[in-house]
């Protein structure tokens, strides 16, 4: 039991504490350096692309499912013959 605590629990606890401290330190901080106008423009364009991408996925996924289901049914019926 002591061997398990020394070889497993202690290193796991050390890693958990270390990663938690690093995460807390980095979570609320702003990025390093000054933001330029080109960086602001890049962020705005990325924010515009994300909704378009989600709309595209919402429209294409049902059609892909339909095509896969139709192909699966066709394949299954051809195997039964």
Looking at per-residue pLDDT, the higher value among 48 and 25 belongs to: 25
Q: Is residue 26 part of a domain?
A: no
Residue 11 lies in a domain: no
In the numeric block, the tokens 């398990």 are attached to 4
Q: pTM of the prediction? A: 0.36
Among 58, 36, 40, 37, which residue's Cα sits nearest to residue 48?
Answer: 40
Residue 39 lies in a domain: no
DSSP state of 30: P
The more confident residue out of 15 and 78 is: 15
The answer to whether position 29 is within a domain reads no
Please name which of 42, 20, 15, 19 lies closest in space to residue 31, comparing C-alpha atoms.
42
Confidence of residue 35 (pLDDT cuts 50, 70, 90): confident
Residue 59 lies in domain: 50-81
Helices (H), the chain: 2-4, 10-27, 37-80
For residue 73, pLDDT beyond 90: no
| 68 domain-assigned | yes
The count of structural domains within the chain is 1
């Amino acid at each position: 039991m002591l061997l398990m605590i020394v070889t497993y629990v202690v290193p796991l606890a050390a890693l958990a504490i270390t990663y938690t401290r690093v995460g807390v330190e980095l979570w609320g901080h702003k990025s390093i350096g000054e933001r330029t106008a080109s960086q602001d423009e890049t962020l705005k364009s990325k924010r515009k692309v994300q909704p378009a991408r989600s709309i595209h996925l919402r429209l294409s996924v049902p059609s892909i499912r339909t095509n896969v289901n139709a192909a699966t049914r066709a394949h299954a019926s051809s195997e039964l013959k």
